[in-house]
Amino acid sequence: HLLAPDLRRQILSGELAADQQLPPEADLTARLQVSRDTLREALRILESQSLLEIRRGRAGGAVVRRPGIEAVGSYVALLLQLRKTTLAHLEEARSVVEPPAAELLAGKAGRDDVDRLVALHDVERDAEHDPLAFVTAMAAFDQAVTDLSANHTLAVLAGVFRDIYSGHVFSAIESTDPITAEQVARRVIVSHSAFLDAARRRDGALAKKTWSDY
């Protein structure tokens, strides 16, 4: 528990780069002046935090990983399930977190930002007849909005909710009839189009309202 935080600091600071393989166990124990058991326990702690991947076999070893939203989302999803969270609860949480991010983006949106969103919007329009492809494209557009807001806290919080929410949306669309599924997709596309119009005008207040409505 003393060694793991030091290695964690090196990973998060970039001293140990993503996909970098750590030196062999014997070299690490000598360099760090710890026992093999202590080293292995520290590596297991980091593996449980998705900061390392332990590969087995002769060519194996510890490989540095950068945790994504999915790693966080899986734990949060379990906690929310235990607390009987509903889709409505997730929507309420999104309505608190995401509109401010949409407003921030619209207020500063440059041409590159808008072009990126337009390209993602085109992808979701092309995918409206395929539930899985559509939900994936919808989530990519939504995540881009919060990412481009440049507020990393909002982007991460929204991303965790969205990762869970998208699975629920796909299940709901997949279980309904094709006509209803396409109607849902069409409403999303129209909402995203309205947001794009606000972003092009750099109208933060309108962007916040369109995102809240969405």
Tell me how crowded residue 212 is: count the other CB atoms within 10 A of its CB: 15
Give the DSSP H or E segment for 34. none
pTM of the full predicted structure?
0.74
Q: For residue 54, what are the β-bridge partners?
A: 62
pLDDT at 56 over 90: no
Burial of 202 (C-beta count, 10 Å sphere; 0-12/13-18/19+): middle
Residues 6 or more apart from 141 whose CB is under 8 A from it? 117, 120, 121, 124, 192
Q: Which amino acid is at 70?
A: E
What pLDDT does 203 receive? 95
Confidence of residue 138 (pLDDT cuts 50, 70, 90): very high
pLDDT at 121 over 90: yes
Contact 165, 90 (CB under 8 A): yes
From CA 188, how far away is CA 194, in angstroms rounded? 10
Q: How many residues does the chain have?
A: 214
**Locus of tokens 């520290």:** 42
Residues 6 or more apart from 162 whose CB is under 8 A from it? 94, 139, 142, 143
Q: What is the pLDDT of residues 189-211, one digit of tens each?
A: 999 999 999 999 999 999 999 99
pLDDT at 175 over 90: no
Q: What is the pLDDT of residues 72-117, one digit of tens each?
A: 777 888 888 889 888 888 889 999 999 999 999 999 989 999 999 9
